[in-house]
Amino acid sequence: MANVPISKLPALPTDTVISTDLFPVSRGNTTYKATGDSFQQYPSFRNKIINGDMRIDQRNAGTALSFGNIARYHTLDRWAISNFGMDQSNTLLGVQRVDISSTDPNGEFQYAIRLFGRPGNPNLVGGDLVELNQYIESSNSRCIANKKVVLSFRLRTNTATVPVTWVLLYPDSTDNFSTTGTPIQSGTVTATTTPTTFSTPPISLPNGVIRGLRVVLEVGSASINLPSGRALDITGVQLEEGSIATPFEHRPFQTELALCQRYFEKSYEINTAVGSNDGTSALLYEPQNVPVGTALNWYIHAPFVVTKRKVPITNCYGRSNTANRLWDPQQLKEQACFPATGSVSRATFAPSGSLTTYTNVAGNAWFYTGGDFYLHWTADAEL
């Protein structure tokens, strides 16, 4: 029956069961789950959480980070850590993207974000807490205001149990998460050494969600619940409209990366941490000729793959982890280079310092004699 449209194929008898296994079927913008005797519809892009499966870590590429008392620090893409009540002089907790494919049921999730205690943790003070936050932009939360949603997530510890509190809040003004915001609903579950997916009861969202939405997973009394050597893995975070949690929506990697790049983008390879010394694999820029008598105030423009939600904060790097630098292969050293006024579609950098040696070219133009430059950049437009 070659070249026959699916719609023209004969239907199976109603009592025929091909398989009890689930398989995905896509049509238009909708993905379905089907078995031999059932057919369920799951809308595409139902998950309002970006990078809920923790695959994308543009900033650190899986490198472990340590922190003490901080108001907000972005780790994996779209996820920010906040923790309070700790001695700022100590780095008593850690966070890292880790591979959990060998312990996750059926290998559904490859990565999780891990919060873990570090040596010295007994010095933590009472009342300390750690929050994992995702701030949902108003343009993505408006459509679920005044509706019911369900939050689901998967947790696992390496030892003992850890209570985890989930909280939903909305900001006081549009896309402004500088203050705590207004709580909507919360609850507490207990993570164990068995990977477990938890889901909340239906949550009625108020009209204030048109201004944005903050999703928090919180470990309170971290000195007790995350002592040195204990770890909590979090993955499969999903927030969706409705009253029942559905299976996690696994979007294509490139789709998820593009969603992340609206808020953060880098020129490094996806698995290279920001500030890494990757030599001449850095981006190459060449200064251009300008007419005689024109000042050589040249700029480096780096177009973004994805338009940012606002004009981002940009940084450039040479071969070190020091910002505001580029690599000069002619002089074999880093030179000063600073962000200039950019836009939502490109970053702009202005080389300075000793990049002011000029020579006459063919009698009608000026050109920098140093040759080419190597440069990497980041652009941060996070909420």
Q: Does residue 307 register a pLDDT over 70?
A: yes
Least reliable range by pLDDT among 28-32, 122-126, 325-329, 372-376? 122-126
142: its two tokens: 């408006």
Confidence of residue 299 (pLDDT cuts 50, 70, 90): confident
pLDDT for position 150 = 98
Asked whether the predicted pLDDT for residue 360 surpasses 60, the reply is no
CB-based contact 146:162 (threshold 8 Å): no
pTM score of the predicted model: 0.84
| Alpha-carbon span 202 to 150, nearest angstrom | 5
Window from 59-68, 114-123, 206-215, 240-249 with minimum mean pLDDT = 114-123
- Find all residues with CB under 8 Å of 89, minimum gap 6, and list them: 68
At 318-345, the pLDDT tens digits run 887 788 988 877 777 888 888 988 899 9
Averaged pLDDT, 79-98: 74
For residue 33, what are the β-bridge partners?
Answer: 24, 40
What's residue 32's pLDDT? Answer: 53
Q: What is the pLDDT of residue 275?
A: 87
pLDDT at position 223: 60
Confidence of residue 225 (pLDDT cuts 50, 70, 90): confident
Residue 143 carries which side chain, given as an amino acid letter?
C
CA 11/CA 152 separation, integer angstroms:
37
d(CA 102, CA 158): 13
Better-predicted residue by pLDDT, 298 or 318: 318
pLDDT at 279 over 70: no
pLDDT at 28 over 70: no
Tens digits of residue pLDDT in 31-67: 555 544 444 678 899 999 999 999 999 999 999 988 7
Q: Are strands 196-199 and 148-157 parallel, antiparallel or unpaired?
A: antiparallel
Cβ atoms of 77 and 51 within 8 Å: the answer is yes
**In the predicted structure, residue 89 carries a pLDDT above the cut 50:** no
Of all residues in the chain, the percent with pLDDT exceeding 90 is: 52
Structure-token pair, residue 372 = 């080419």
Question: What is the CB neighbour count within 10 angstroms for residue 126?
Answer: 8
**pLDDT at residue 189, as a whole number:** 96
Residues 313, 342: Cα–Cα separation, whole Å: 9
pLDDT of residue 327: 82
Q: What is the pLDDT of residues 344-354, one digit of tens each?
A: 999 988 877 44
Grade residue 6 by pLDDT with cuts at 50, 70 and 90.
Answer: low
pLDDT at 329: 74
Could you tell me which residue, 240 or 280, shows the higher pLDDT? 240
- Is the confidence at residue 17, as pLDDT, over 60? no
What is the mean predicted confidence (pLDDT) over 151-177?
96
Which residues have C-beta within 8 Å of that of residue 136, sequence separation ≥ 6? 48, 49, 212, 213, 214, 215, 239
Residue 370: predicted pLDDT: 47
Whether residue 91 has pLDDT greater than 90: no
Name the token pair of 304: 């973004």
Domain 65-261 indexed as CATH 2.60.120.260: yes
What is the widest separation between alpha-carbon atoms in the chain? 87
* Ranges in the chain annotated CATH 2.60.120.260: 65-261
Q: What is the mean pLDDT of the chain?
A: 81
Q: For residue 121, what pLDDT band results from cuts at 50, 70 and 90? A: low
pLDDT at residue 276, rounded to an integer: 84
Q: With left for phi above 0 and alpha for psi between -120 and 50, is residue 200 left, alpha or beta?
A: beta
Q: What is the sign, positive or negative, of the torsion defined by CA atoms of 26, 27, 31, 34?
A: negative
Identify the pLDDT of residue 124: 45
